[in-house]
A and B are shown apart, each in its own frame.
Chain A
């Protein structure tokens, strides 16, 4: 039997080490964010000469300048529209598909499911040119619907995988009870499966919202009309061939990051629940 002091010291040391480790991780995660905000308040030249995190002189006008120069107004609305449409589209299609893969037996079910899973392995830029050609043939190039459909396609595989894993674990007794109460297959999906899947749906919403919000490459490819561009494209205007307007870029990035941080904070409760319930690890 060791001295109680030994256990106390051991516990304090261990806790201190764990906290130092966690603090290091937290600081390394937060530092880029703080640096971004700090740089957004400097001028192009002070970014390179003033390395302090709190600028000597705050240039709040950078935000207004970035908003104006980047044409953020229209692009902001476009991005909100695309994000909402794509996320809703993915939730509707992926939850229906995942429920069907989990609960129904039909010919080719496994092949279809594994085909979806295989699509997850294809690097996104690798599918850009085929998507472009497809949209061109369908006459959907340079349209909002074309871009939305492409983005739904991009997010489907992962979402189906997450939701199917959740539905597989869901007790069948709940559905049996609903069936006895007269629910149809569609009604069970709507009244039983979906409400129970809230935590994993939150994960799907945040992952896909982030993906759509930060996307610009596919938008560049599919869309020619500047009026249809998402917000991220506006940020690219600050990155020149040789010169980057860092102060405006950082101000723009801060503006662009706010809505997605808001979505995350709003859904944080469900995300943590979703992750701990095995939404990700299955």
Chain B
């Protein structure tokens, strides 16, 4: 019997496994090094990794505390890692929770996330006052919130986003329009559609295939048309979707389509495609978030574009934009370095570090004091921060089934499958069904 080869195989296999086992203790041989305080931060922001590493070096030079930024991308892999680590009580000192506010609330309720309100409020709210109020709202749970979370601030925003309209200045010139005077009123906007049609160009691009962006623009229209209170009353079930104001909101999409303002195939377009089309001058308008400044810079550095608010439909209520905190960090409540983690986040959200992040990553800073040194395009986005809103801060949330019917209904209006009235009735029917279900529970 020739066992020789098999024995060699087993020895080799055992060898490589054992060689691997030794790796874990690497670097722990020096006791003084083991004692050194270090913080671990988990994040998913690939495009901010180098800037964060740079800041980590600066912090170590300043305090002697090493901050290990550990990147786990893409975001779904990161979310899974955080979920698993939470179950095993292995969360790092600082991390982020991705997902909806209810997911965030679940982490807070099981005691994984520290309430930072006492630190924010210390010294006459020194830390809290540094932020845009809208930036903190995303991480805040107010008294009597529907999630059952103790009131407090559970996250530190490091940047912000706002979603606005953009227009191509060169194409504006070709259409005979003034590139410094984008349309302000709805009628002016619709009139541009006619010019786009005549010039055989394409109008608006956006990621409306990723349904949430339709929800975003539709809610912006609704806020302008009927005001925040009426929108929230609708979500609470006190105003029906068949209300004339809501039918008007649905009709706006039909008007845009009829006017030739929408890019062919917009309803199934993903945002990456929309960004590519706009960056290459294939579309006059885009509806996109402030992150696009960085995206367009990479795709076409010569692109000349302007940023504008959504055209105003009514003068009764202000035009709102979806926005707020872009990314936030949370402190692990069971961390041994909790105090150090909070001090680091205070430093990270300081004006100087925020300016550095904004310059390096072309994202809107969360610190008010840092907003002065951003690019002109980003400055336009920052103007919208005061008008920003987001479902995360409304305190009430719509049923997901209703949101789906609402957004898909708008898609069917654009492709001419349904009328605004039909969609309104269908959405209301689903709303009533879900309300009845909730009541029976």
Contact surface of A with B, Cβ cutoff 8 Å: 44-45, 48-49, 81, 84-85, 88-89, 92, 125, 128-129, 132-133, 136, 141-145, 148, 183-184, 187, 190-191, 216-217, 220-221, 224-228, 236-243, 245
B13 touches A129 (CB 8 A): no
B295 at the A interface (CB under 8 A): yes
Contact assessment for A44 and B299 in the assembled complex, using a CB-CB cutoff below 8 Å? yes
In the assembled complex, the Cα of A227 lies from the Cα of B45 at a distance in Å of 20
Complex: chain A residue closest to B75, CB-CB: A241
With both chains docked as a complex, state the minimum distance between the C-beta of B76 and any C-beta of chain A, in angstroms: 9
In the complex, the answer to whether A242 meets B294 with C-beta atoms within 8 Å is: yes
Contacts of B73 in A (CB 8 A): 236-237, 239-241
Chain B residues lying within 8 Å of A228, measured Cβ to Cβ, are 23
> Which of B236-288 touch A at CB < 8 Å?
276, 279-280
| Segment touching A, from B14-22, B56-64, B217-225, B399-407 | B14-22
CB-based A-B contact count at 8 angstroms: 122
Q: Which of B82-90, B100-108, B367-375 lines the interface with chain A? A: B82-90
Stretch of B2-10, B31-39, B138-146, B387-395 with 4 or more beta carbons under 8 angstroms from chain A: B2-10
State the CA gap A44–B300 with chains docked (Å): 9
Q: A220-B72, A240-B47, A241-B75 are in contact. Are A88 and B295 (CB under 8 A)?
A: no
Docked-complex contact A129 and B295, CB < 8 angstroms: no
Give complex CA distance A217, B79 in Å. 11
CA distance A220 to B48 in the complex (A): 19
Q: Are A242 and B291 in touch, CB under 8 angstroms?
A: yes
Q: Are B17 and A148 in contact (CB under 8 A)?
A: yes
The residues of A that contact B49 with a CB separation of less than 8 Å are: 237
Establish whether residues A88 and B9, one from each chain, have CB atoms under 8 Å apart when the complex forms: yes
Chain B residues with CB under 8 Å of A85's CB are 13, 16-17, 20
Which of B6, B84, B276 has the most chain A CB atoms closer than 10 A to its own CB? B84
Inter-chain contact B300/A227, CB cutoff 8 Å = no
B80 is an interface residue with CB less than 8 A from chain A: yes
Q: How far does the Cβ of B413 sit from chain A's closest Cβ, in whole Å? A: 29
10 example contacts (A-B, Cβ-Cβ < 8 A) are as follows A45-B300, A81-B20, A85-B13, A132-B87, A136-B88, A143-B21, A191-B1, A239-B73, A241-B44, A241-B47
Which of the listed residues B48, B71, B289, B298 has the most CB atoms from chain A within 10 Å of its own CB?
A: B298
5 tightest Cβ-Cβ pairs between the two chains A and B: A144-B20, A240-B47, A242-B291, A240-B46, A132-B84
Cβ-based interface call for B380 (8 A):
no
Assess the B20–A148 pair: CB atoms within 8 A: yes
Q: Which of A88, A89, A241 has the most CB of B within 10 A?
A: A241
A125/B80 contact (C-beta < 8 A), A132-B87, A239-B73 known: yes
B301 in contact (CB, < 8 A): yes
Secondary structure call for the A interface: helix
| Contact (Cβ within 8 A) A145 B21 | yes
A89 to B83, Cβ gap below 8 A? no
Where the two chains meet, the residues of B that have a C-beta atom closer than 8 Å to any C-beta of A are: 1-3, 6, 9-10, 12-13, 16-17, 20-21, 23-24, 26, 44-49, 70-75, 77-78, 80-81, 83-85, 87-88, 90, 276, 279-280, 289, 291-292, 294-295, 298-301
Q: Report A-chain residues with C-beta under 8 Å of the C-beta of B291.
A: 241-243
For chain B, what secondary structure do more than half of its interface residues adopt (helix, strand, loop), or is it mixed? helix
Residue of B nearest to A147 (CB): B20
Task: Give the distance in Å from the alpha carbon of A92 to the alpha carbon of B250 in the complex.
Answer: 63
For A241, give its contact among B21, B45, B299 (CB under 8 Å). B45
Residue of A nearest to B68 (CB): A226
20 new A-B pairs (CB below 8 Å) besides A45-B300, A220-B78?
Answer: A49-B280, A81-B20, A84-B16, A85-B13, A85-B20, A92-B10, A132-B85, A143-B23, A143-B24, A144-B21, A225-B24, A227-B23, A236-B73, A236-B74, A239-B73, A241-B48, A242-B289, A243-B47, A243-B295, A243-B298
Interface pair A183/B17, CB less than 8 Å apart: no
Partner of B81, one of A221, A226, A238, A242: A221
CB-CB under 8 A from A191, the residues of chain B are 1-2
The CA-CA distance from A217 to B48 in the complex, in Å, is: 21
A239 touches B23 (CB 8 A): no
Q: Inside 8 A of A125's CB, which chain B residues have their CB?
A: 80
Query: How far apart are the CA atoms of A280 and B45 in the complex, in Å?
Result: 42
Query: Which residues on the B side are within 8 Å of A144 (C-beta)?
Result: 17, 20-21, 23
CB-contact partner of B84 in A44, A45, A129, under 8 A:
A129
Highest count of chain B CB atoms <10 Å: which of A84, A132, A228: A132
Determine how close the nearest CB of chain A comes to the CB of B194; give it in whole angstroms.
Answer: 29
Q: Are A49 and B300 in contact (CB under 8 A)?
A: yes
Q: How far is the CA of A212 from the CA of B292 in the complex (A)?
A: 35
Which chain B residue has the least Cβ–Cβ distance from A44? B298
Check A241–B17 contact: CB distance below 8 A: no
CA distance A49 to B281 in the complex (A): 10
Alpha-carbon separation in the docked complex, A210 to B55 (Å)? 38
B23 touches A129 (CB 8 A): no
Chain B residues with CB under 8 A of A226: 70
Give CA–CA (A44, B276) in the complex, Å. 11
Residues from chain B with Cβ under 8 Å of A184 in the complex: 1
Instruction: Give the complex CA separation of A237 and B26 in angstroms.
Output: 24
Q: Are A237 and B299 in contact (CB under 8 A)?
A: no
Taking a contact as CB atoms closer than 8 A, the residue among B3, B20, B78, B276 that contacts A48 in the complex is B276
A129–B24 touching, CB < 8 Å = no
In Å, the complex CA distance between A81 and B19 comes to 10
What is the CA–CA distance of A240 and B49 in the complex, to the nearest angstrom? 9
Give the residues in chain A near B48, CB-CB below 8 Å: 241
A187 CB contacts on chain B under 8 angstroms: 1
